[in-house]
Every structure is written in C-alpha cells, then in structure tokens.
Structure 1
Amino acid sequence: MKGILHMAAGAGFGATLLLTPALAADETLYQRLGGYDAIAAVTDDFLGRLKGDDKLGRFFVGLSDDSAARVRQHVVDLICAETGGPCLYTGRDMKTAHKGMRITKEDWDRTGQLFGETLDKFKVPEQERKDLGGLIAPLDKDIVESGT
C-alpha cells in the first residue's frame, strides 16, 4: 500500500525499506516509500521502539522533550534528504553526533532488528527495504565506536 513503510529484518541495517509494491523508473526512493508523512510515521514508531528497549533506551535517558523532538526531526530530515526528498538535513555528521555514546556492534545490530520490526509493521516492500538499507548500512563505521 502506497505510503506504508516495510523493512525486512536482517543482520543489522543490511535490510532495506519498501513502501510501494510497484516501482516506477522515474520515482525516487522517497516517493516509493510514500513521502514525508510515511517517513515520519516510521520514524515515530522506530524511535518509540528504541526508547522502550531495555538496553537501547539508555541513549534517550535525560533528553528533554525539546531535545527528543530535535532528534526525531533530524532522523526524518536525514531519511527524507538521502532518499531524494525535498528535505534538508541540518544535523551534524554521524561520527560527530554519536561520538562518546559508546555504541557497540551489538547495539547497532539490535537497532537494525528494531528497525526491521518497524518496517514489517508498515509492510515496506523488499526493494525499498534493500535500497534504504544500502543508505543506512554504511553508517555503522561512523556510529559504532571500535573497541566498545
């Protein structure tokens, strides 16, 4: 269903998001995912899963409502911009934004699993999941801190 995101759970973020079953050659990934509202809905569900997770919730402890809203908007804008949408991502680069958080490979993999669950909930098609995963997977080198 157009406007609904789905993600295949895989190893970490190697999975990709898909929203629309039919792929048109002239449609951007942003359009195939259903646009801004679909990306925002997926982001809201995903961040809720992270915050509620026994281990990953620690990354959200102490955030004010304003800070949590800013994180949410940065995630939406990043996905929107990277998938060919009209958004402008104004946040810091991933390495700077996550430095000192001590995010482990285990944390990264669990995050990918939760993202997959969100994509499943929204029934994102396989091709979109793969394409989105191709954008997200390489971020591990900037987010996961080696030696943690």
Structure 2
Amino acid sequence: MEATNQNSLYKRLGETKGISAIVDDIIEAHMNNPAIKARFLPLKDNSEHFAVTRQHLINFIITGSGGPQNYTGKNMTDAHRGMNINEKEYMHAIDDIMNTLEKHQVDEQSKKDVLAIVYSLKDTMIGV
C-alpha cells in the first residue's frame, strides 16, 4: 500500500474519521433541504440500503481525496442514472456540501479542492 501524502486532501479532511463525519452531516443536510430531501428521505426507510449508500460515499471521497480506501461502487453516471437530476437540485446539493465543510472548519484550499472535484462530476450526474 502506498503511503498517503501528508498534504493530501484525504489528510486535510481528517482521514477516514473526518470524512465519515462530513458524509454523515452532508446526508443529514440533504435530508433537511426542502429542494432535494425527497431524493434522500427514502433512504431512511431502508436501513440496509442507507448503510451501503453511506459507505460507498465515504469510500468514494476517501479514494478521490488520495486516501487508501478503494471505491468499488458504481461510477457516477450509473449511480445517478434514472434520477434526472436538474441543475437547481445539483446546486442545492453543492451548497449542502460546502456548508458542511464550513461547519467542520475545513480550510479554504480544501473547500476549493472539494468544489473542483464536485464540479468535475457535474456532467455525470445531471440529466442522466
């Protein structure tokens, strides 16, 4: 296993523990956001699906931020296929992510790095 860079986004987000806490708060924010909560509230009704989805998101962020975890879930297009997410919903999700990073006192450069990653995935999520 390759050593993780001390300045990697993974390290700056608090490694697995920090990323897990951030993911939990992002999910909570999505479930409370009137513009997108209808897409997330059904997860509460299926605890097994919720746990799998949560872990995939954690692993996805760990892998994408330079951490040691291997993401084995679907690619973003397949994960969002059939959802027909629109631009407005996407922007609400980004706002939730950025507000959560602020809540966790993530530094400005790391927030910019996360935002760049999220925007790079935009076309794989909207309208698929």
TM-score by length of 2: 0.89
Per the alignment, residue 96 of structure 1 pairs with 78
* Letter paired with 1:34: G
**Structure 1: how far apart are the matches of 2:13 and 2:100?**
13
RCO higher in structure (CA 8 A, sep ≥6): 1
Which protein has the bigger helix share?
2
Task: Please list every run of at least 4 consecutive aligned residues from structure 1 whose deviation after the TM superposition is greater than 4 angstroms.
Answer: none
Q: CA deviation at 1:55?
A: 2.4
Per the alignment, residue 53 of structure 2 pairs with 71
How big is each residue's C-alpha offset from its partner over 1:55-111, in whole Å with a ceiling of 9 and x where there is no partner?
211112433111111111111000000111011111101001101111100000011
Q: CA deviation at 1:27?
A: 2.3
- Count of aligned residue pairs for this structure pair: 122
Secondary structure of the structure 1 residue equivalent to 2:42: coil
Matched, 1:28 2:28: no
Q: CA deviation at 1:40?
A: 0.3
Match of 2:103 among 121, 124, 138: 121
Match of 1:53 among 12, 22, 33: 33
Match of 1:82 among 64, 77, 82: 64
Where does the alignment leave 5 or more consecutive residues of structure 1 unmatched? Answer: 1-24
Q: CA deviation at 1:32?
A: 1.7
**Structure 1: how far apart are the matches of 2:95 and 2:114?**
14
Match of 2:19 among 39, 45, 54: 39
**Structure 1: how far apart are the matches of 2:82 and 2:26?**
22
Secondary structure of the structure 2 residue equivalent to 1:62: helix
Q: Identity of paired residues, percent? A: 30
TM-score by length of 1: 0.77
Per the alignment, residue 9 of structure 1 pairs with none
Where does the alignment leave 5 or more consecutive residues of structure 2 unmatched? Answer: none
